[in-house]
Structure 1
Amino acid sequence: MKSPGLTLVSYGGKRYRFDAGALCTELLTTGGPGEFARYESLHEPADLLRWVERSRLPSGLEMPVSEGELAETRALRNALFQVVADRAHGRPLAARELAAVNLAAAGAPLAARIEADGSRGWAPGATVARLLATVAREAVELLTGPYADRFRECGSGNCGLLFVDTSRPGRRRWCAMEHCGNVHKVRAHRARRAEGDD
């Protein structure tokens, strides 16, 4: 079984592990609307399949992906990005983006099955529409369930990664302690030292 989280690369080229807390928030690492379009990583159908393989979904999911389906994936991702960002910042949820998430959630999800070796696999017939329904349904469950108030944006002023805080105490602030958390600690330490030198 895969461990949760994606390996991301910082501006400086350092690799770090980011646990978005859920599949739906993992999709948000592929780009987003507005200023986040510069992080777009879903340029061709194979890019979506690479994301699926890296995601927390069990391995072995195979499906054809068309250019149109890739565009639908980006559209759902952008709507979900806005909904999650709004929730993370306590803003009212936008009707158009909610409608897009709800429309995708109304579809049939991916069907899992138990393989002969006892592992989890995928029933035949996987499609991008089913993948998007799975992502959207999870988002609906999270946004309306006990984690509804646990959507966060990384506490670093220039990161922007969104996640669901699934930690027991619910006080997670950073995308990853080894990335933005450490940068914050170093800055705070330097500031304290500078104050002591005065």
Structure 2
Amino acid sequence: MTLRPPDGGSFRFDPGALCLELLLTGGPGPLARFEVLDTPAGLLDWVAASRLEPPSLRLPPVGEGDLAAVREVRDALQRLTVARAHGRPPGAADLAVVNAAAAVPPLVVRMTAAGEREWAPGASVAGLLSTVARDAVELFTGAHAAAGRIRECGGPDCYLLFVDTSRPGRRRWCAMERCGNRHKVRAHRARTQSEGEERCPQV
């Protein structure tokens, strides 16, 4: 997904899972400044940009209650993912929110006469949330090693979370062109300053 932070510019970021893409819409605390789920358009824009397949999901009119439900699940997922990234136990209330969302029937795909995939009629925000919540259950409990590779970006004041899919499992940054390069610049400045101090004649 293409992210456009408030400080300007844009960069590509792949969190590695549908449920983690939902975390890019804002959240509690310092994440509130990124909030986009305060309007139906914000949710629909996220749906169109997400990895949902097929991408052409049509939802009925989205109300304030729908938006509040999406934000509740998103915020619970945010806290659960941060806890997993830092080796902390999950919060019982957050687990209950995600499990309740996953218990609802998810979105359903079907095959068209042309052999293509499409969403079956009856799609709803509740079904969307169930699909996202079930993706989270699979991420956190699946047999693959992804659950042990959930990371938080190492950049200062960067809250992006992702699944480290690199072969060595040493990914530290949301994106090299953003926090990775900023780290390199800071390290270079610190090294240059240190070398300058070493060359400075002692008085």
TM-score range, shorter chain: over 0.9
Q: Report what 1:122 is aligned to.
A: 119
Determine helix, strand or coil for the equivalent of 1:170.
coil
Letter of the structure 1 residue corresponding to residue 194 of structure 2? E
Q: Report what 1:3 is aligned to.
A: none
Determine helix, strand or coil for the equivalent of 1:21.
coil
Letter of the structure 1 residue corresponding to residue 15 of structure 2? A
CA distance in 2: counterparts of 1:173 and 1:115, whole angstroms: 42
Aligned-pair distance for 1:150?
1.2
Aligned residues: 193
Q: Report what 1:55 is aligned to.
A: 50
Letter of the structure 2 residue corresponding to residue 141 of structure 1? E
Letter of the structure 1 residue corresponding to residue 58 of structure 2? E
CA distance in 2: counterparts of 1:173 and 1:77, whole angstroms: 23
Q: Report what 1:166 is aligned to.
A: 165
Unpaired runs of at least 5, structure 1: 1-5
Letter of the structure 2 residue corresponding to residue 26 of structure 1? E
Within the candidate set 32, 35, 40, 1:40 is matched to 35
- Point out 4+ residue stretches in structure 1 off by more than 4 angstroms: none
Q: Which structure's CA Rg is the greater one?
A: 2
**Aligned-residue CA RMSD (Å):** 1.3
Within the candidate set 21, 25, 41, 1:26 is matched to 21
Aligned-pair distance for 1:106?
1.1
Determine helix, strand or coil for the equivalent of 2:118.
strand
Letter of the structure 2 residue corresponding to residue 154 of structure 1? C
Aligned-pair distance for 1:98?
0.6
Within the candidate set 136, 140, 147, 1:143 is matched to 140
Deviates more, 1:163-172 or 1:102-111: 163-172
Q: Report what 1:182 is aligned to.
A: 181
Deviates more, 1:171-180 or 1:118-127: 118-127
Letter of the structure 2 residue corresponding to residue 193 of structure 1? T
Q: TM-score, normalised by structure 1?
A: 0.92
Superimposed CA distance per residue, residues 70-112 of structure 1 (whole angstroms, 9 cap, x where no aligned partner): 1100000011110001111111110000110111111111112
Q: Percent identity?
A: 61
Q: TM-score, normalised by structure 2?
A: 0.90
Within the candidate set 4, 22, 25, 1:9 is matched to 4
Pair 168,114 (structure 1): closer, same or farther in 2 beyond 3 Å: farther
Q: Report what 1:133 is aligned to.
A: 130
Deviates more, 1:159-168 or 1:67-76: 159-168
Pair 25,191 (structure 1): closer, same or farther in 2 beyond 3 Å: same
Pair 117,197 (structure 1): closer, same or farther in 2 beyond 3 Å: farther
Pair 196,118 (structure 1): closer, same or farther in 2 beyond 3 Å: farther
Within the candidate set 63, 74, 79, 2:71 is matched to 74
Letter of the structure 2 residue corresponding to residue 167 of structure 1? S
CA distance in 2: counterparts of 1:120 and 1:168, whole angstroms: 31
Pair 172,115 (structure 1): closer, same or farther in 2 beyond 3 Å: farther
